[in-house]
């Protein structure tokens, strides 16, 4: 295991910003967002003998309804444990405060990439003994998602959702242009050029979106590279990084398939893909339910991301998990809830049908809900080779504060490919070093 341990002050500040959530926190007497009749931070024993657990999350709106659906189903399934979902704003900051001052929740909704940042702080409770006691097989979960929930030789949670970027395309626009969904970079570039429509200086239809330079990691893997070296340094100022930026440069400035800020320029609330202004884009399963709503107005398909120059396939796996805070007084009961939700085929499937998310528990994916729906297959195929982001505590800071700003300058025509890679490397290595404790 790479020894990238505690993160520094910069990473903590950035993570606190990234972890902010929407929605309103309900008032509370104990910091958990709920009245506390038991007097033990909302995690006591109720009047009927049930252990009361608090589940913190930062999904409001429809997400909150989805969570409460699962909580209600669990509470009705037995009478020994009662779980309450509490919506939290600025959840990570509140959690860290609660972890040191009391009032910790019992279950936490967890963006998995945070594990390598916070597990070294001893605020999460490992679940390895629970897994062994209950005989749960790690092979029934996506390996990459478990890796992202691990630190050192310990596992800290189970995956609730998994996702990966795939290529969404407008079937009508591709048919009109006489092109097939691309499977390689060369095909992607050629198809994007044929699909693009300009009216003078106005871009009317973009062949392919280059609006998310946060996907550099995915492209780099498709070029046969990786973001970091094994000893925790940047690894993109090389031939593979150059290939990615040369592809972007050709598509932006030679083929002119995209214009920086194109989607934003269409007006607030206007989705370029839905309105036929965008022929192809990388996005994930979280958009399926939205795009399906448009029916005949949007005939779309999905394929795995096109392979790079040497045939390398790549996508980045993301998603969430459920973890147990070390400060909880009811680790065993919290585990029962997490196991019920994430390691049971029927319950994982209920979650999938409720939220239209892909569960991390593979047996649930055998159900016709997934197998009979053609939209799920290319995403499930992509998940078979998708990799998580590097587990370095300073990775998100490096990407956000060093790489991304330089990529923006390149796309704006203000910086060369060579300068972009060189500056991102020097700035990125400093940030990685600042957030590394050897």
Answer yes or no: are the C-beta atoms of 295 and 315 closer than 8 Å.
no
User: Is residue 161 helix, strand or coil?
Assistant: coil
Whether 153 and 249 map to the same domain: the answer is no
| Span 412-431, pLDDT tens digits | 999 999 999 999 999 999 99
- pLDDT attached to residue 205: 97
Average of per-residue pLDDT values in the chain: 89
424: exposed, middle or buried (Cβ count in 10 Å: 0-12, 13-18, 19+):
buried
- pLDDT attached to residue 72: 98
Whether 232 and 348 map to the same domain: the answer is no
| Span 169-212, pLDDT tens digits | 999 999 999 999 999 999 999 999 999 999 999 999 999 999 99
For residue 142, what are the domain limits? Answer: 21-89+104-163+318-383
Task: Scan for tokens 């946060």, then name that residue.
Answer: 214
Whether 174 and 198 map to the same domain: the answer is yes
Assess if residue 1 is contained within a domain.
no
Assess if residue 7 is contained within a domain.
no
Whether 300 and 428 map to the same domain: the answer is yes
Tell me how far apart the alpha carbons of residues 112 and 74 are, in angstroms, rounded to a whole number: 23
Assess if residue 63 is contained within a domain.
yes
| Span 11-58, pLDDT tens digits | 333 333 333 333 333 333 333 333 333 333 444 554 468 999 999 999
Total count of residues recorded for the chain: 438
Assess if residue 132 is contained within a domain.
yes
Answer yes or no: are the C-beta atoms of 359 and 162 closer than 8 Å.
yes
Confidence of residue 437 (pLDDT cuts 50, 70, 90): low
Mean pLDDT confidence for 213-230? 97
Whether 176 and 280 map to the same domain: the answer is yes
Q: Pairing relation of β-strands 157-159 and 320-323?
A: antiparallel
Assess if residue 94 is contained within a domain.
no
Assess if residue 8 is contained within a domain.
no
Whether 371 and 287 map to the same domain: the answer is no
Confidence of residue 297 (pLDDT cuts 50, 70, 90): confident
Tell me how far apart the alpha carbons of residues 103 and 94 are, in angstroms, rounded to a whole number: 10
Q: What is the CATH number of the domain that holds 412?
A: 3.40.190.10
Percent of the chain with pLDDT over 70: 87
Sheet architecture: strand order including 157-159: 81-87, 51-57, 107-111, 320-323, 157-159
Answer yes or no: are the C-beta atoms of 123 and 96 closer than 8 Å.
yes
Number of domains, the chain? 2
Tell me how far apart the alpha carbons of residues 159 and 167 are, in angstroms, rounded to a whole number: 24
Task: Scan for tokens 């990615």, then name that residue.
Answer: 244
Whether 396 and 412 map to the same domain: the answer is yes
Whether 63 and 209 map to the same domain: the answer is no
Assess if residue 15 is contained within a domain.
no
Structure tokens at 202: 């106005």
Most distant pair of Cα atoms in the chain: their distance: 73
Assess if residue 401 is contained within a domain.
yes
9: pLDDT strictly greater than 70: no
- pLDDT attached to residue 4: 43
Tell me how far apart the alpha carbons of residues 13 and 35 are, in angstroms, rounded to a whole number: 31
Structure tokens at 101: 């001052």
Mean pLDDT confidence for 145-168? 97
């Amino acid at each position: 295991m790479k020894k990238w341990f505690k993160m520094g002050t910069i990473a903590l500040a950035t993570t606190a910003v990234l972890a902010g959530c929407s929605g309103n926190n309900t008032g509370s007497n104990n910091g958990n967002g709920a009245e506390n009749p038991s007097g033990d931070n909302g995690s006591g024993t109720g009047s009927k003998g049930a252990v009361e657990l608090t589940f913190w999350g930062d999904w409001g709106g429809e997400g909150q309804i989805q969570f409460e659906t699962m909580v209600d189903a669990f509470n009705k399934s037995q009478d020994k444990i009662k779980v309450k979902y509490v919506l939290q704003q600025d959840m990570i900051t509140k959690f860290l405060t609660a972890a040191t001052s009391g009032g910790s929740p019992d279950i936490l909704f967890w963006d998995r990439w945070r594990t390598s940042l916070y597990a070294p702080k001893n605020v999460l409770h490992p679940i390895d003994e629970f897994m062994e006691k209950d005989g749960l097989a790690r092979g029934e979960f996506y390996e990459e998602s478990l890796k992202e929930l691990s630190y050192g030789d310990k596992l800290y949670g189970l995956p609730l959702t998994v996702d990966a970027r795939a290529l969404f395309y407008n079937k009508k626009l591709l048919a009109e242009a006489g092109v097939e969904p691309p499977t390689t970079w060369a095909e992607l570039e050629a198809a994007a050029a044929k699909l693009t429509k300009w009216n003078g200086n106005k871009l009317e239809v973009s062949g392919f979106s280059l609006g998310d330079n946060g996907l550099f990691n995915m492209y780099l893997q498709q070029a046969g590279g990786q973001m970091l070296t094994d000893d925790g340094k940047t690894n993109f100022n090389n031939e593979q990084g150059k290939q990615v930026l040369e592809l972007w440069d050709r598509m932006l400035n030679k083929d002119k398939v995209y214009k920086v800020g194109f989607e934003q320029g269409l007006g607030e609330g206007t989705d370029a893909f839905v309105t036929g202004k965008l022929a192809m884009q990388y996005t994930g399963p979280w958009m399926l339910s939205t795009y399906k709503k448009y029916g005949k107005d949007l005939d779309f398909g999905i394929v795995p991301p096109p392979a790079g120059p040497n045939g390398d396939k790549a996508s980045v796996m993301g998603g969430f998990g459920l973890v147990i805070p070390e400060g909880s007084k009811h680790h065993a009961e919290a585990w029962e809830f997490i196991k019920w939700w994430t390691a049971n085929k029927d319950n994982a499937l209920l979650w999938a049908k409720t939220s239209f998310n892909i569960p991390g528990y593979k047996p649930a994916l055998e159900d016709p809900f997934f197998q009979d729906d053609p939209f799920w297959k290319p995403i499930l195929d992509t998940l078979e080779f998708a990799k998580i982001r590097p587990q370095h505590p300073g990775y998100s800071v490096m990407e956000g504060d060093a790489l991304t700003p330089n990529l923006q300058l390149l796309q704006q025509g203000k910086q060369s490919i060579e300068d972009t890679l060189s500056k991102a490397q020097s700035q990125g290595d400093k940030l990685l070093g600042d957030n590394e404790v050897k």
